[in-house]
Chain A
Amino acid sequence: MYFLRRLVMLVPLLLVISFLAFVLVRVAPGGPFDRERQPASPEIKRQIEARYHLNEPIWKQYLRYLGDLAHGDFGPSLKYRSQNVNDIIAQALPVSVLLGMMAFGFAMGVGIPIGYLTAVRRGRWEDHAGSFFAILMVCIPGFVVAPVLIILFAIQWRLLPVALWASPWHTILPVTALGLYFSGRIARLMREGMLNTMQAEYITTARAKGLGENAVLLKHAFRLAVLPVVSYSGPLLADLLTGSFVIETIFQIPGLGPFIVNGSLNRDYTMVVGLVVLYAALLVVLNLIVDFAYTLLDPRVKYE
């Protein structure tokens, strides 16, 4: 019931978000057809505004947009005039999802074990090495990591492709560059969670009952310790799945990331609103999944 209610709530939420995005992007100075070169005649400007209904009052434009949206139509792109926003999402989203899922897997696959180990081996060399790695990854942004990886692996040693998205080998560098930062954050969250739970009374109880250390840590402590990571993974996934501007630009990956940033720079109204709605919907749904995962992991959590 609770989850159903949340899903229903999604509709008004998306309405508010799309309205804000719709108005804000139009209020910003400059328009999609402001260029270095003026159109051949004022008539062309009039025609183009009429074609995209930019000459109508904003509320009318918005209602028209909602009507199209209800049919799953995000409208034509104002910059890429031979494409619809749907075309662009259909081609770019799968790429970003693939890249994002892999980076997510990478971040989890590297972050959770490191966080776990540094907590269990607190104060020993594993802890110092792991924590140092985590801090380092959090501190170095992707636009530094990516070129360093490219210089070493693609240019110096010629082991991996330098850019593009054509084979599994092409995915290794961008996934690593994108995932490293998040693996650092996850490692830190995991360590924190683990340290907190290890001091919890029920763990002492479990130990007192004579459970093996592995059973205590993996079966009892881990389940609760991983909760901060789980709550972080909702927004993280939404972020990763909609693409990364920096990584996708550096590696020339045909994902959604550049469209989000360039769309607003280009005042590509339909593109910006469409991608904001997509991102918001994804965020809400993923947070819902996170909440659901809570009920599985933490027996104390129940939703009415």
Chain B
Amino acid sequence: MKRATPVPTERRKANGGRQWARVGSFTFSFFILHFAFVFSGCARREPSADVVIINGTEPESLDPHIITGVAEMRITKALFDGLTKLDPTNAASVPALAERWDISPDEHIYTFHLRTNALWSTGEPITAADVIWSWFRTLDPRTAGDYADKLFWVKGAQAWHEGKNSDKSRVGITALDRHTLRVELKSPIPFFLDLCSLPFLAVVPRQTIERYGDRWLHARPLPVSGAFQLGAWRINDKVRLVRNPRYWDAANTASAIIDVLPVGSPNTALNLYETGVADIVWDKDLVPAELMDVLVTRPDFHTFDYLGTYFYRFNVTRPPFNDARVRRAFALATDKRRLIKKITKGAEKPASHFVPGGVANYEPPEGLSYDPEAARKLLAEAGYSGGKGFPRFAYMFSSAGGGGAKMPGQIGIELQEMWREALGVEVELRQIERKVFFNAQSRLDYDISASSWIGDYNDANTFLDLFTSTSGNNRTGWKNPRYDALIHEANQQTNGKRRVEIFRQAELILIAEEAPVVPIYFYAGFNYFDPKKIGGIWQNVLDEHPMQYIYKVGSSRHEEARSEFGSSQRLSRAAGSATKIHN
């Protein structure tokens, strides 16, 4: 580049062009490099999936016994079967690994007859011993599954869990032979078959777990008991489910490959769906709240009643909320319709009672309705006429992620206005980070706290036993012996009608007399998929959509499956023959 002679000014201009070219080639070479880099790096050869589902955030685990989230449960239910599973149409429990069962007249003893053709995906038979080992694993505190208490209904199970008794033979789970399991319950609960369909009671591979410990899900091949095998699990990328040909009901598995994408952003989920990358989006946190009013009118957007309640808790250990009159005044001053109309804008239903209306075996009583006049009177009775002298207090809510992220705050603002108008009290809104929020809630370090509860199974008990004095999820400080006794008594009933009556009495204490909690609305479930393109999804109160039945219309694998499978009729028939009908 050395030049011996000075460059005249005219030549400098000509060099300008060369300069451009140089800069251009510099830039160009960068992009070439890029593509060389990219092509070598991330081209993957994989068959494409039949159905792509956006499911929620990255699963915390796929171990059915330790997971806590709904997104995780949907995947693990495809991988690991329990004794029962839920009918895709109405979420009633139907036979799975257990082909049939007998229930003793006092409804304490269940004898399950396992399928003799049930196999692990690696070929070994699934036996009663597998079920027993799996259930003890869930019960074992060392497994550290948050839902171990789902098995506490089994006689002796809680004592074993708490270490008060280390003799497994004193727990009511016994194998009568290789394919027969006898379970003795401590109470004749009508929802035990539903519990058997939960992931926490699913059957998991003993040898793999004993060999690999916490990392057993990384073992290949991974023995599974469900309709799908774990084809791939790439963090924050996808979980690929591949049809398990050894599954006892493999003939009814409608898709060969299902990809489950973890997506945290509602907008990204909608974008992927709109551009046809994903076929189904099914998480209530994955609906962009800003677009809710537009989305609900679309034919491919489905809403349905869902077993979940949004409510707020009082800390009854702190004045002034230790006075039931004050709590009831707040309940009466909460206009739930206004909250739904202005903020959630979806298909939620205003709640005056705590147990959602669609729940099985139950008819909830009516609680307190919106009545600002009565509210003012009650508050005056408690000594705060017109809100005078009412201490400062705060409404605590968490900054949760997901599509509804702004909702708890917006609801707080609305409540603030309502209570100011109706009661003349001033509430401070306090937004707290999620983990700090739950910590403060369980330590009773709040005045009023935004809350929600999703039913674990289709029975009023999953809502009502929350507020017994011994429940870890009570989190209000409210203890009522009469309430405790009623809940206990209800679960001893074999007479369905009587059980409903007792539960109703208990719920009235909770929502009308004492009001440690105020229900705001019942959740609506949401999912979006085009029914012309996707089949095998039915709406039900548990938002239960087993992946086994989902297919893309017109795909070859599905046509093949359909010839043997008359949609869900066969399943429903099976359900009718095997489930004991209560009342």
Contact = CB atoms under 8 A, between A and B. Distances in A.
Given A31-B435, A120-B19, A44 B442 contact: no
B23 A113 contact: yes
Interface residues of A, number: 78
Given A44-B141, A168-B39, 12 more contacts: A30-B438, A44-B145, A80-B61, A81-B66, A87-B218, A102-B37, A116-B23, A158-B275, A164-B277, A165-B237, A252-B264, A266-B435
A254 B237 contact: yes
Nearest to A114: B23
A299 interface: no
Contact of B38 (A83, A92, A168): A168
Interface of B: 1-7, 12, 15, 18-19, 22-24, 26-27, 30-31, 33-35, 37-39, 41-44, 58-63, 66, 68, 141-142, 144-150, 152, 161-163, 214-218, 234-237, 261-265, 267-268, 271-272, 274-275, 277, 433-440, 442, 452, 472-473, 475
Nearest to B436: A30
A272 to B, nearest CB: 12
Contact of A213 (B7, B61, B161, B163): B7
B53 to A, nearest CB: 14
Contacts of B261: 164, 252
Interface string A202-230: 00000000111111011100000000000
27 contacts: A34-B435, A34-B436, A37-B473, A39-B148, A40-B149, A43-B161, A43-B163, A47-B142, A79-B60, A81-B60, A82-B214, A88-B235, A109-B27, A109-B31, A112-B26, A113-B24, A161-B277, A166-B42, A167-B42, A210-B5, A212-B1, A213-B15, A252-B268, A254-B235, A255-B236, A258-B264, A267-B435
A110 interface: yes
A40 B145 contact: yes
Interface stretch (A9-17, A55-63, A147-155, A283-291): A147-155
B7 A250 contact: no
B357 to A, nearest CB: 23
Contacts of A43: 141, 161-163
A112 B146 CA distance: 55
A168 B43 CA distance: 7
A282 interface: no
A252 B452 contact: no
Contacts of B274: 155, 162
B272 A164 contact: yes
B406 to A, nearest CB: 16
B572 to A, nearest CB: 32
Given A154-B275, A214-B18, A249-B268, A44 B148 contact: yes
A146 B410 CA distance: 27
A180 to B, nearest CB: 14
A218 B141 CA distance: 69
A168 B42 contact: yes
Contacts of B4: 210
A252 B269 CA distance: 9
A213 B12 contact: yes
Contacts of B437: 30
A267 B438 CA distance: 12
Nearest to B237: A254
**Chain B CB within 10 A, most for which of A47, A211, A212, A254:** A212
A251 interface: yes
A242 interface: no
A35 interface: yes
Interface string A68-93: 00000000100111111001100110
Contacts of B262: 252
Contact of A106 (B22, B30, B60, B68): B30
Nearest to A36: B438
Interface in A108-139: 108-110, 112-113, 116-117, 120
A117 to B, nearest CB: 6
Contacts of B147: 40
B236 A258 contact: yes
B541 to A, nearest CB: 20
Given A36-B438, A43-B162, A44-B145, A212 B236 contact: no
B37 A98 contact: yes
Residue picked from A42, A147, A164, most chain B C-beta under 10 Å: A164
Contacts of B214: 76, 81-82
A266 B218 CA distance: 23
A32 B214 CA distance: 18
A53 to B, nearest CB: 14
A294 B578 CA distance: 79
Contacts of B18: 214
Contacts of A199: none
A255 B263 CA distance: 13
Contacts of A41: 141, 148-149, 161-162, 472
A38 B272 CA distance: 35
Interface string A155-189: 10010011111111001000100000000000000
Given A102-B34, A109-B30, A168-B42, A251 B268 contact: yes
A101 interface: yes
- Enumerate the 4 nearest inter-chain pairs by beta-carbon distance, A residue then B residue, closest first: A38-B472, A30-B435, A109-B30, A40-B149
B68 A35 contact: yes
A266 B217 CA distance: 22
Contacts of A158: 275
Contacts of A217: 19
A256 B547 CA distance: 29
Given A43-B161, A44-B145, A214 B268 contact: no
A23 to B, nearest CB: 17
